[in-house]
Chains A and B, each alone.
Chain A
Amino acid sequence: MTLSKKNMLIIIAILIITILPLIIKSNADFAGADGAAEGVIQEMNSNYKPWFSSLWKPPSGEIESLLFALQAALGAGVLGYYIGYKRAVGKKVERNKDC
């Protein structure tokens, strides 16, 4: 099996694992896991008060997704640069072999 075929299979598997929950649990809320942990702590120790809060919070969900997108874009940019660079170098080496 070639590399691209293998990787295509892996990508299909990832898509299935990711999309399947959205179909079989179509009425779930898919809430972020963050707030829930705090809920359980309060339930188990109702007198626990958080003693420190975040220095800064994204003022809205939009700003939060902006920053999450920024985080993903920074990472994806570096990954994409590396993949493109490496493929180009690989092709150049091959071409030099030919002539």
Chain B
Amino acid sequence: MKRKNILQGLLLLIGVVFYSSRAYAMHIAEGFLPIEWAGVWWIIALPFLILGIRRIRELVNDKGIEIKMLLAVAGAFVFVLSSLKLPSITGSCSHPTGIGLGAILFGPGPMVVLGTIVLIFQALLLAHGGLTTLGANVFSMAIVGAFVAYGIYSLAKKLGLPIWAAVFSGAAIGNLITYTVTAAQLSLAFPGQSGFLNSLLEFMSVFSITQIPLAITEGLLTVLVFNFLRAYSKDELRELSIIGR
């Protein structure tokens, strides 16, 4: 009986994925979270933002110009990647986040700030995302995305995986989780008549599949830049304890 249910669920999921033309954004549009939820995510995001600003200040004060340049590279990577709207196999477009690289290099804290800067740029100039939903979008991309990318990378390294594999999985899973969190945020705010879980399934159905190839692309692009850093920025990577002495 239970197995039958799971099977039915799977079939439903596959059906929804292939027959629906819906697509999802990773950023929640302006005004599209009820005011109380918009507030909740702002309140949750603020402490992380403050910690992140502190961490960046430490980096800027204590480290040399080489590390500061690398921090600029991490920010630039987010700028480039979040402007690339890529086609996916479901016939819609979505974009990578670029958070993984910086989270792996500097830990999640600084990326909360860099991610927020990019989100503000897009909210003010591109009407992409929004100010009221900034807290929610910062939470999914710059907080959960950064912490998960860093966590997966550290775990993979501890498990003895080669460093490129650790970088790849950190960046790719960090990207996927961002979209999952966005879906969860929408389902919490709009459980519909069928409740949170069904609603989550509904919100996730299409865009998680859309997102898998993009997550792979994000992982590959991150490894590309990381390979360069390993060849030309060895001293910086040693200083940040990414590679051994």
Which residue of the partner chain, among B28, B130, B207, contacts A54 with CB atoms under 8 Å? B130
B232-A33 in contact (CB<8A) = no
Within 8 A of B (CB), among A42-75: 44-45, 48, 50-58, 64, 67-69, 71-72, 74-75
B92-A53 in contact (CB<8A) = no
B192-A45 in contact (CB<8A) = yes
A contact face: mostly helix, strand, loop, or mixed:
helix
Give the complex CA separation of A50 and B32 in angstroms.
Answer: 5
Given contacts A14-B217, A44-B192, A45-B192, contact A37 B25 (CB under 8 A): yes
> Taking the nearest CB of chain B, how far is it from the CB of A66, in angstroms?
10
Within 8 A of B (CB), among A1-40: 3, 6-7, 10-11, 13-14, 17-18, 20-22, 24-25, 28-34, 36-40
A10-B223 in contact (CB<8A) = yes
Chain A residues near B127 (CB-CB < 8 A): 54, 56-58, 64
Chain A residues near B21 (CB-CB < 8 A): 28
Give a binary string over B73-98; 1 marks a CB under 8 Å from any A CB, 0 the rest.
Answer: 10111111111111111111110000
Chain B residues near A17 (CB-CB < 8 A): 213, 216-217, 220
- Asked if B228 CB lies within 8 Å of chain A CBs, one says yes
- Asked if A95 CB lies within 8 Å of chain B CBs, one says no
Which residue of the partner chain, among A7, A36, A56, A58, contacts B92 with CB atoms under 8 Å? A36
Chain B residues near A41 (CB-CB < 8 A): 32, 186, 190
- Given A25-B91, A77-B76, 8 new contacts (CB under 8 A): A14-B220, A20-B89, A33-B23, A36-B25, A55-B131, A56-B124, A67-B126, A74-B76
